[in-house]
Amino acid sequence: MLSLLWLVPAIPFASALALAVVRFPRRVVAWIAVCSIAASSIVSLIVAFSFLHTPPAGNAYTQVLWTWLNVGGFHPEIALYLDPLSLIMMVVVAFVSFLIHLYSTEFMIGDDGYARFFAYMNLFVASMLTLLLANNLLLLYLGWESVGLCSYLLIGFWYRDPENGRAGRKAFIVTRVGDTAMVIGLFLLFHDLGTLNIQELMQRASQHWAVGSGVAAAAAFLLLGGAVGKSAQLPLQTWLPDAMAGPTPVSALIHAATMVTAGVYLIARTHVLYSLAPSAQFAVAVVGAATLLIAGFSALTQWDLKRVLAYSTISQIGYMFLALGVGAWPAAIFHFMTHAFFKALLFLAGGIVIKALDDEHNIFRMGGLRTQLPVAFWTFLIAGCSLAGLPLITAGAFSKDWIVWGAGSAANGSMGLWAVALAGILLTSLYTFRMIFLVFFGEEHSQVVKKPGMAMIIPCVVLAFLSIVGGYMRGPFGRFLELALPWNASAAGGGHVSEMATETAAGLVFLLGLMLAYVLFLRKKPSTALLTATAVGGALHRFWFSDWAMDWFYDRLFVRPVVWIANIDKGDFVDGIYIGIGSLNEITWRVLRRTESGKLRWYAAGITIGSIVFVAVVLFL
Amino acid sequence: MTGVPMSYGLILGGILFVLGLAGLLMRRNLLFILISIEIMLNGAGVAFVAAGSRWMQPDGQIMFLFILAAAAGEVSVGLALLLRFYRQQQTLDADAASEMRN
C-alpha cells in the first residue's frame, strides 16, 4: 500500500489543474476542491497505517517516480521519501488542509474568484506535500518555491486593492532574500559532497566533515537563512503580519498551520548537518528565543485580530526553532502538529467572528460575542487555552512544556534559554487572554450580521477536539519520531531542570498571565490607558506596535537607497540603446511614409524599378 | 522552316512591352492604362510565340492562348472597375484616386 504514496501530492495537483483550465459552476468547484483534498488525506492515512503496520526496512520508504534530469553526474530524481518525520508532517498537512478547504467552501461563497481561490489552494497543498515528501533538496526547493508562489498569489487574492498586492510582493521579496541564501547553500552542498539526495547528503556530510568544520557551518547557516525567511523568524519576520491581507482561510492554512513551518521541517530534515555545526545550531536557538520574545511583545499591542494571531504564529514558530536549536528535535515537530491544530482553529474561529461582524478586524470594536456566537466562542477559547498552554488539558501545553523543558535540559540547552521560554509563556498567555476578553467578554459593541453554517462549524469542532486530545499522543508520538530524529535528554547535558519542575513553573506562569490579562483588560478600570498614557509606556506601545520598528529600519536601510540609486541611474547607457532603436524605427517610418502617395502610377513605377533591379542582380551578380 | 529569325520576334515583343510600360506610367486616363496593360501582355505573347517557333515547340502558342484568356478576364474585371470608378469620381484620372495616401 506504500506505493500509493505518489497519489498524495498528485491528486491535489490534478484538481488544481482542472480548476484552473475548465470553468465549473460553483457547486462543482467546491466538490472538486474538497474531494480532492479529502482523497489525498485518505490516501495519506492509508499510507500511514500500512507504514505503521509493516514498517519498511530502515524505517524509510523511497518511491522513485522518474529521473528529473541527468547532466554531468548530476541526476536528481523525482522521488518521494517517507520516514516518520515526513509521514507525520504529511498526515497533519493533508488533514488540516482538508478541514480548511471545507471551511472555505462557505467562507468564500460570495466571492467572484471562487474557482481561482480553490485552484490556488489545491496547488498550494500539492506543493506543500511535494516539499515534505521530496527525497532530494532540489525537489524540496521546487516545492519550497511553489508554496511561496501560492502564498504570494493568495495574499494578493483580492487584487483590486493595491495594498493587498503590496503585501503579496513584500512577502515574496522578503522570503526571496532567505531563498537566495538557501540556494547558495544547495550549491555549496552539491559542490562539496556531489549529491543533493538528502539521505546520501547527510551520510557523506558526517563522513567528510568534522564536527565544527567551517564548510559545514557555512552550509548550515545558509540553509538557516532560507528557513528564517520562510518561517518568518527574526531578521525576516516582517512579511507575515502584512500577509494577513489575504482571505482568512489562507491565513489559517498557509500563514499559520503549514507553509511557515517549512523552515522547521528543513532544519529537522537536515539535522545531521546542524549536529556537525554547533555554532549554526546555537544560532537557530538564539533566533528562536529572540523571535518568540519580540513577536510576543508585538502581539500585545495590536488591535487587528488577525495581526495578533500573525505575531503569535511568529512567536510559536520561534518556540519550534528554539527546540530545534537546543536539540529537542521531536519536541519541535510535536509543537508543529499541535500548533497546526490550534492556530488553524484560532484563525477559523476568528474568521467566523470577522465574517459575523461584517469584516470587522478591530478587537476593540468587538466584545460580548460569547452568547451570540457560541461555537466561535468555545472553539476559540479551547484553541486560545491550547496556545497559551493551559496545563494538563490542552495539546499546546504538552508540546510547549516539552520545548521549555528541552530548552533547559536538552543537549544544547541552558538556564538562560529556559527562562526566555518561560517568559514567552507569560507573554503568550497575556496576549491570548487579552484577545479572548476583548472579543468575547465585556459589553457588546456591534451587531452580528451573519451566523456560521455547518461547513464552517464542523472544521472548528474537529480542530477543537484535536487541540485537546492531540497532546495525549505525546508518548507514542515521541517514540515513533525517534526512529528518524535523535532525542536523548536524559543522556545529554545532565538535565538542568526536571520535567516536573518545568511543567509546574509553566503552569504558574500561565496563570500569572491569565490574571494579568484579567486585571488589565476585563475589569472596568482604565489601567491600560494609564499605562500607555505615561511617556515610557506610550513610546513602548508605539515601538511594539510597529514590530520593534523593523519595517521603518528596513525601509531606511534597503528600500530607500535602492529607490534613490534607481532614480539616479534612470538614463544609463543600456536605456540609451533601447531608446535609440525606438527612435531609429520612428525616423525610418517618417521617411517610408512618403512613398505611400496613393498614386497608382508611382506604385507601378516602383514595381518596374524593383523588377529591373531584381533581374539585374540575378543576371550580373 | 526558315522564317523570321527569333531575334526579330523578341525585339518586336520588347518594343511592344516597353511601349505599353511607358503608356502605363505616363497616361493618367484609366482607360489608356488598361489598353497599355493589354499591349504589354501582347508583347509578352509575341516573345512566347517567337520562342516557340525557334525551338519548334507548341508550348509558346499554348502559353499565348493562356495569356489571351487571362487578358480577357483582366479586361472584363478592369472595365467593370473602371465604370464604378467613373460613377463615383466623375472622372477617369487615376491620380484622383489617391485618398489612401500616407
Identify the residue whose cell numbers are 527525497. Answer: A135
pLDDT given at position B102 = 61
Cell of A328: 529537542
Give chain A's contact residues with B (Cβ, < 8 Å).
Answer: 593, 596-601, 604-605, 608
Q: 3-state class of A1 per DSSP? A: coil
Residue A604: its chain B contacts at CB < 8 A?
A: 24-25
pLDDT given at position A369 = 84
Residues across chain B? 102
Cell of A482: 525517534
Cross-chain CB nearest to A597 (options B21, B24, B101)? B101
- Put simply, whether B21 touches A (Cβ < 8 Å) is yes
pLDDT given at position A448 = 82
ipTM score assigned to the predicted complex? 0.85
Q: Which residues pair with A62 in a beta bridge?
A: A81
Residue A599: its chain B contacts at CB < 8 A?
A: 94-95, 98, 101
Alpha helices in A114-270 (DSSP H): 114-133, 137-155, 162-193, 198-208, 214-230, 239-242, 248-252, 262-269
pLDDT given at position A584 = 95
pLDDT given at position A526 = 62
Question: What is the β-pairing status of strands A61-67 and A77-82?
Answer: antiparallel
pLDDT given at position A492 = 45
pLDDT given at position A525 = 59
- Residues of chain A scoring pLDDT < 70: 487-496, 524-528
Q: If pLDDT is split at 50, 70 and 90, which confidence band does B6 have? A: confident
Q: Which residues pair with A78 in a beta bridge?
A: A66
Question: What is each CA distance from A181 to A186, A192, A342, A389, B94, in whole angstroms?
Answer: 9, 17, 31, 35, 73
Cross-chain Cβ contact B99/A598 below 8 Å: yes
**Long-range contacts from A611-614, C-beta under 8 angstroms, 24+ separation:** none
Cross-chain CB nearest to B102 (options A593, A601, A604)? A593
What residues contact B73, with CB distance under 8 A and at least 6 apart? none
